[in-house]
Structure 1
Amino acid sequence: VYNNKEVGTFTINRTGRHMIYNALASIGIGLLIGLEYESINAGLAEYQGARRRFDVVEVNDSVIIDDYAHHPTEILVTLEAAYKKYPNQKMIAVYHPDRITRLDTFEKEFIEVLRLADQVAIGSAVDSDGFSKVINTNALLSNIDRSFVVDDKLESVEQLAYLAPAVFIFMGTKEMHTLKQGLIDYLS
C-alpha cells in the first residue's frame, strides 16, 4: 500500500528477514522517486544480492550455505533464515573467526548464538589484523556442546561429510572456501 492505494505483490529471491527489510526500503524509495510497480518488481526479482550473503548450493540431500556473517547479530540472522528456509533439518554451523578483539569482546554472544545450531565446527584462525596472532577458540569449544575444530584438510571435509544430510552454514572469513568447496566436491 502506497498513498492509500494497493500497489501489488513483490517478489524477492533472497532469504531472511533482513532481506525483506532491504526489499521494503528499496520499494519505498522506488515509489518515492516515481518508478512504476512493474519496474520495481522486475528489479527485485532479478536482484542476486552480494556475494557471500546466503549463497546456497544444494548437493544431493545436503545444503551448503556461504555467508560472510562474522558478528553474533549477523550469525543469528543467518541461522534464523536457514531454519526458516530449511525447517526440521539438521543445522551445522561452520564458523571461522577473523578478529581476536571481536571474539574477545562478544565471546558470550558468540557462544549463545552458535549454540542454536545442532553442531558447530570452529575453524582455527589467524587474526586478520595483520599481526599473525592465532585466535584462541577454546572458550567457544569448551562452552558449546557438539562443537569441534576444523581446518581445510581432507580429514575435516570427511568429518563434516559424515554429518550429512544436513544444512551446512559456512560463516566468517573467506578462508573457509577450501573447506566448503572440499565438502561440495566430497558430497557430489
Structure 2
Amino acid sequence: MTTYHFIGIKGTGMSALAQILHDSGQKVQGSDIKKFIFTQEGLEQKGIRIMPFDANNITEDVTVIAGNAFSEDHIEIKRAHELGVPFFKYHEFLGEWADKYTSIAVTGSHGKTSTTGLLSHVLSTSLPTSYLIGDGTGFGNENSTYFSFEACEYKRHFLHYKPDYAIITNIDFDHPDYFRNLDDVFDAFQSLANQVKKGIIACGEDEKLHELQSNVPIIYYGFSAENDFQANNIKVAEKGTTFDVYVRNTYFDTFTIPLYGNHHILNALAVIAFCHYEGIDPKIMHNLSTFNGVKRRFSEKKLGEQIIIDDYAHHPIEIAVTIDSARKKYSDKEVVAIFQPHTFTRTKTFLQEFADSLNEADCVYLCDIFSSAREVSGDLTIEDLLEKIPNGTLLTLDNVDVLAKHKDAALVFMGAGDIQKFQKAYENSKNEHVK
C-alpha cells in the first residue's frame, strides 16, 4: 500500500484531505513548519504523523500531494520529481477523489466554509457522507454516498473539479493579487458552471449569479418571492433564528437554526434547496437545528462579562455580516471590532470598503497588516486605514489590555492571518478563568 505524503499538511484544505484519506483506510503522513497551527489538532487526534520539511521525507514508496502554496523549488517537491514518484497538487488530487461520489462543490467569494460545514452536518448526521471543510476538518469513508467539499476560486483551482452539484453563495471581487476585476471572477465561476453535471444551487440575492448560463438547472434561493426557495416570516429569539420556507411560493416547512444573521439563513436555504432537489427526506433537513458551527467562524467564549468572538472574516462584506451577527445575538452589548488586514494587495484594493464595514462597530481596533507569502511588501501601512476610522485605535501586543475597558461588550477578533495571537495575549492579560 502506498503512503500518501502531504507537503504542507497543516493547510486547511490539506489537513482536511489528509483526514479523509486516513478515515478511508489509507496510510497518511505529512510535513510542514514547526509553528503550531490550529488545523494540526485534528491530525494529531487521528494519529497522523507530522514531520518538519526535509527532502529525506520523500521516499520511493510514497504518493505526494503538495499544497498549492508551494512552488516547484521546494526541497520536497524537487526530491519527488527526482525520484519520479506519483505527484499531485492539492486541487488535482481532490478533483479525482470527488469523482468517486455524488459530489457537491460549495463555492462562492464568501461563505464557503460555513455553508460546507452546514451541508456536511445535515447530510452526515443521517446519511453516509464524506466531507472536506475549509476550516481543516475532514471525514471520509469509501461507503459514502455523498461528498461535500469546499471549492476555492483562487487561481481558478476549482476548475479541476467536475462536481455533480455546485452550491454558489455569491460572486464578488476578491483575491486582487490574481483576479483583474469582477468580470474576471465571474468568468471563473461561469467556467465552473459549465462543468457541473446535475444542478446548480445559487443565491438569488446576488446579481452576478443571475448572469450565469448553464446546461443544467439553476435553482435560486433567497428572501424575495422570485426565488425558487424563499425564506419568510423570520423570527430571532434566544435559541436562534426561525423561518418559513416557501418552494416556488408554496409553503414547505418551518426551520430553526442556532445562528444569527441573514447570511446564515441564506446558507441554510442553500442546504434545504439541495436536499429538496436531490429528494432527501425533509426530516434530515431539520438536522440544521443541531449545527454547532465551524472553526474560526463566529467561534465564541465568555471572558468575565465579555464575549470573545473569533472569525476568519477578511473581506469587507464578511466583516459587515460578522458585525451584524454580533449585533443581532448580543443586542444589549457594545460591539468592538478587532481587525487584522490580510495582505497589502487586498487592503489597498478595498481600503474605503474596509473602513465602511468596520465603522458599523461601536469601537474599532486595528492590528498591523498581515503580509502573505504571496507578496513581498506593500506601499501602504495600517495608518492609511486607521485615518478613515474615526473611532479606531492601533492595537499591538503590548497594549492589548486596553480592551478590558469594554466591560460589557462583544469583542470580535477578525482576520485571516495570525489575529489569534492578539486574542490569546488579551486573554492572558486578563488573568481570569475563561468560563
- Corresponding residue for residue 343 of structure 2: 99
Bigger Rg, which one: 2
1:31-80 deviation digits (Å, cap 9, x = unpaired): 222222221102x1232332111111122211111111111111111111
What is the one-letter code of the residue matched to 1:62?
Q
Change (3 A) 1:102 1:5: closer
Correspondence 1:158 to 2:404: no
Counterpart for residue 70 of structure 1: 314
> Please, which moves more after superposition, 8-17 or 25-34?
8-17
Within 1, Cα distance between the matches of 2:300 and 2:364?
19
Q: Distance in 1 between matches of 2:416 and 2:249?
A: 45
**Aligned counterpart for 1:114 among listed residues 355, 358, 382:** 358
2:335–2:412 Cα contact (<8 Å) kept: yes
Q: Which amino acid aligns with 2:418?
A: E
Q: Shift of the alpha carbon at 1:107?
A: 0.7
Which structure: greater helix fraction?
A: 1
Q: Work out the CA distance in 1 between the residues paired with 2:247 and 2:391.
A: 48
1:172 aligns with 2:399: no
Q: Which runs of 5+ in 2 are unaligned?
A: 1-245
Is the Cα contact below 8 Å between 1:93 and 1:168 reproduced in 2?
A: yes
Which residue of 18, 24, 31 maps to 2:263?
A: 18
Contact 1:94/1:121, CA 8 A, preserved across alignment? yes
Q: Secondary structure at the match of 1:109?
A: helix
Q: Whole-Å Cα distance in 1 between the matches of residues 362 and 297 of structure 2?
A: 21
The residue identity in structure 2 corresponding to 1:136 is: T
Please give the secondary structure, in 2, of the residue aligned with 1:170. Answer: strand
Partner of 2:331: 87
Task: Check the 8 A contact 1:126/1:133 in 2, yes or no.
Answer: no
Give the total of aligned pairs: 185
Amino acid corresponding to residue 28 of structure 1 in structure 2: A
In 2: Cα distance, 1:72 partner to 1:3 partner: 32
Distance (Å, rounded) in 1 between the aligned partners of 2:309 and 2:370: 23
Distance in 2, Cα, partners of 1:178 & 1:113: 23
* DSSP 3-state at the match of 1:9: strand
Once the two structures are TM-superposed, the CA of residue 161 in structure 1 deviates from its matched residue by 1.4
User: 1:27 corresponds to which residue?
Assistant: 272
- Distance in 1, matches of 2:249 and 2:385, equals 50
Superposed CA RMSD in Å reads 2.1
Cα distance in structure 1, aligned partners of 2:253 and 2:329: 24
Q: TM-score, normalised by structure 2?
A: 0.40
The whole-number CA distance in structure 1 between the counterparts of 2:341 and 2:250 is 47
Structure having greater relative contact order (Cα 8 Å, sep ≥ 6): 1
Q: Which runs of 5+ in 1 are unaligned?
A: none
Q: Does 1:139 align with 2:139?
A: no
d(CA) in 2 for partners of 1:16, 1:3: 23
Contact 2:370 2:417 in 1 (8 A): no
Deviations 1:75-131 (A, max 9, x none): 111111111111132111000011111111111111111111111111113411344
Q: TM-score, normalised by structure 1?
A: 0.87
Structure 2 contact 343–375 (Cα < 8 Å) conserved: no
Higher strand share: 2
Judged with a 3 Å threshold, the aligned counterparts in structure 2 of structure 1 residues 122 and 4 are, in CA distance, closer, same or farther, namely closer
CA drift of 1:164 comes to 2.1
SS in 2 for 1:117: coil
Q: What secondary structure is seen at the aligned counterpart in 1 of 2:399?
A: helix
**Residue in 1 that maps onto 2:294:** 50
Partner SS for 1:175: coil
